[in-house]
Homo-oligomer: A and B are copies of this chain.
Amino acid sequence: MAVRAAVAGASGYAGGEVLRLLLAHPEVEIGALTGNSNAGQRLGALQPHLWPLADRVLAETTPESLAGHDVVFLALPHGQSAAVAERLVPDVLVIDMGADFRLKDAADWEKFYGSPHAGTWPYGLPELPGARAALTGTKRIAVPGCYPTAATLALFPAYAARIAEPEAVIVAASGTSGAGKAPKPHLLGSEVMGSMSPYGVGGGHRHTPEMIQNLGAVAGEPITVSFTPTLAPMPRGILATCSAKAVPGVGAEAVRAAYEKAYADEPFVRLLPEGQWPATAAVHGSNAVQVQVAYDAAAGRIIAISAIDNLTKGTAGGAVQSMNLALGLAETTGLSTIGVAP
């Protein structure tokens, strides 16, 4: 019997992507689609790529419209998920694609998000040590941020293997869909095409404490993260260029070995053959992660680079992957590792 799924926030990019994936998921039946300002509109006008759902009309996001489903995906602005989630019955699987339940440290949450901390849910990055166990059978999932997904998968093998110093430097380029669908002047096509620009420089980006939380847990010690996000002239994709000094005595072989060990059996993370480098186009529309690592002997640094699709593995694909675990389905059900390229 099909799993019945509702999507709150179906008009945005995260909502659209989770619908795209659920339409291809053999065990899921799509139930209510809700929105706020777009309630009452046809999905075909808002998400013209989702032809099979073109004639569906958005309902208001209310406890009533979301009731009666097995799974509810929340694709809402930060800070709005808790109010919706608390009115859903405990035995429905609630998957929050926003930030509300990702951080464990309430002070971090308050500092970066400026509102009271709503709590912490199991973190939907199955590749992290211990994560699969925590996700199996859970009724609440906090989907990781897109940048933390990319950066954590690039760097955690180095910290897991104790070969990296606890000071990480992360520079990531994201496609514009990561900034959402609310129209703002700096996100206009005229502004972003032909331009690269940074934002949230100097430690201010909200994904920084999430990266510190992930990598610190693996490292078993506090680490610092210098994170600089940049906006790239493309609709999708994150390329995360991450580095840390190597622990004394570590060389190229140990680095390679740490990554081969970490990703030997991961269904969605591919450590590329030596000499080949990640490209966001190669994972466009897929749940795959491309990872590569190098050791720079002159600088004494480990350079680990990952490419993901920010909307798929970085948001909705990660959500579906965790949903599969929570529901007891095969983790890869309905997800593809094949990119749409060129």
Contacts and interface: CB of A to CB of B under 8 A. Distances in A.
B235 A196 contact: no
Contacts of A89: none
Interface stretch (A72-80, A136-144, A199-207, A319-327): A199-207
B195 A281 contact: yes
Interface in A102-133: none
Contact of A300 (B171, B191, B224): B224
A183 interface: yes
Name the interface size band of chain A.
35 or more
A188 B194 contact: no
Contact of A338 (B50, B171, B292): B50
Contact of A307 (B176, B197, B292): B197
Given A199-B277, A228-B303, A234 B48 contact: no
Interface string A170-190: 010101110101011101111
A188 B185 contact: no
A152 interface: no
A202 B303 CA distance: 6
A283 interface: yes
Nearest to A175: B190
Interface string A40-60: 001011011111101000000
A157 interface: no
Nearest to A21: B338
- Taking the full assembly, how many copies of this chain does it contain? 4
A308 to B, nearest CB: 11
A300 to B, nearest CB: 7
Given A183-B183, A303-B226, A338 B192 contact: no
A188 B171 contact: no
A192 B305 CA distance: 18
Pick from A169, A282, A305 the residue with the most CB of B within 10 Å.
A169
Contacts of A52: 337-338
Contacts of A183: 183-185, 187-188
A167 interface: yes
A280 B234 contact: no
A232 B188 contact: no
Contact of A235 (B193, B277, B292): B193
A294 interface: yes
A270 interface: yes
B270 A194 contact: no
A189 B169 CA distance: 28
A151 to B, nearest CB: 13
Given A198-B278, A203-B298, A239-B198, A340 B342 contact: no
Interface of A: 13, 16, 20, 23-24, 42, 44-45, 47-52, 54, 167, 169, 171, 173, 175-177, 179, 181, 183-185, 187-199, 201-203, 208, 224-226, 228, 230, 232-237, 239, 241, 243, 245, 270, 273, 276-286, 288, 290, 292, 294-301, 303, 305, 307, 336-342
